[in-house]
């Protein structure tokens, strides 16, 4: 047991950071430089393999909103880029280093610039809080943990693969998935703060997520405890609480 504790203590000491706005402690096994390099590589692949929208007005609109959010992010070191992809999937994401992608599918759900800013702030928040790197670090630690415990418990070699798979499922449901939902709530909170600082109407975040809830009705969703995203009603309730904490609601 002492050996196991020493291993996990060593992993924890690899890197402890804090998230912006929420000030939550994080466990990191990936450096910012590594993360930035991954983001740049993935962004290039996405541009090469996706259909970039030819709608110049739409591209300029998303870029304008993105630049306003980026200006209050505190990350002038990011090489910010904003790209609209012609895809009906309701999706958007921000890669490490500030490479932001919006699918036309999610833009159809947004009713105004404030709602686009809601999505923009949320996705940029994921990058600012380094959620991708944190999730990768947790997965790496989980894999190492499975190997260490198997050795400590003298699990026969022929069963170690099965044991690792079972341990992986347990850690996924018991640790990584709940943290993924934490990441989503955190991105909501940070994102609302960013859109507020950029001068957008934070109350429109509620309307956007209500639109998302309506759009997703009828679709098959996993139980909340197996989902990486919080339930829509839970998310909207939390967003109302975040907005109420702002100095002045716009």
What residue spans define the domains of the chain? 2-244
pTM for the whole structure: 0.77
pLDDT on residue 174: 42
Model confidence at 247, pLDDT cuts 50, 70, 90, reads confident
- 1-38 pLDDT, tens digit each: 444 444 444 444 445 788 999 999 887 888 888 888 98
What gap in Å lies between CA 155 and CA 153, rounded to an integer? 6
Q: Which of 123, 134, 184, 186 is catalytic?
A: 123
- 35-55 pLDDT, tens digit each: 889 889 999 999 999 999 999
Higher pLDDT, 161 or 88: 88
Q: How far is CA 217 from CA 155, 220, 221, 227, in A?
A: 46, 8, 9, 16
- Token pair belonging to 40: 């740049």
Own/partner contacts of 146-150, CB < 8 Å, gap of 24 or more, are 146/171, 148/3, 148/4, 148/7, 148/8, 149/4
Q: Is the pLDDT of residue 75 over 60?
A: yes
pLDDT on residue 131: 87
Residues 96-104, mean pLDDT to the nearest whole number: 94
By residue count, the chain amounts to 250
What gap in Å lies between CA 123 and CA 126, rounded to an integer? 5
Mean pLDDT highest for which of 47-51, 132-136, 170-174? 47-51
123 belongs to the catalytic site: yes
């Amino acid at each position: 047991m002492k050996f196991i504790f020493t291993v996990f203590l060593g992993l924890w000491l690899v890197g402890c950071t804090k998230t912006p706005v929420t000030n939550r402690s994080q466990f990191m096994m990936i450096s910012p430089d590594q993360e930035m390099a991954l983001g740049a590589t993935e962004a290039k692949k996405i541009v090469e393999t996706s259909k970039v929208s030819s709608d110049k007005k739409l591209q300029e609109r998303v870029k304008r909103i993105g630049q306003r959010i980026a200006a209050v992010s505190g990350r002038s070191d990011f090489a910010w880029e904003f790209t609209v992809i012609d895809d009906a999937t309701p999706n958007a994401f921000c890669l490490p280093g500030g490479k932001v992608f919006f699918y036309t599918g999610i833009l159809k759900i947004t009713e105004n610039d404030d709602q686009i800013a809601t999505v923009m702030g949320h996705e940029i928040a994921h990058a600012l809080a380094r959620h991708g790197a944190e999730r990768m670090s947790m997965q790496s630690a989980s894999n190492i943990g499975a190997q260490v415990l198997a050795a400590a418990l003298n699990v026969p070699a022929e069963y170690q693969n099965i044991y690792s798979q079972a341990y992986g499922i347990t850690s996924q449901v018991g640790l990584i998935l709940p943290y993924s939902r934490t990441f989503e709530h955190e991105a909501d909170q940070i994102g609302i703060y960013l859109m507020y600082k950029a001068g957008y109407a934070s109350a429109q975040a509620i309307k956007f997520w209500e639109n998302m809830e309506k759009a997703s009705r009828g679709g098959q969703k996993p139980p909340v405890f197996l989902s990486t995203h919080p339930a829509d009603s839970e998310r909207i309730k939390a967003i109302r609480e975040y907005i109420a904490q702002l100095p002045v609601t716009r």
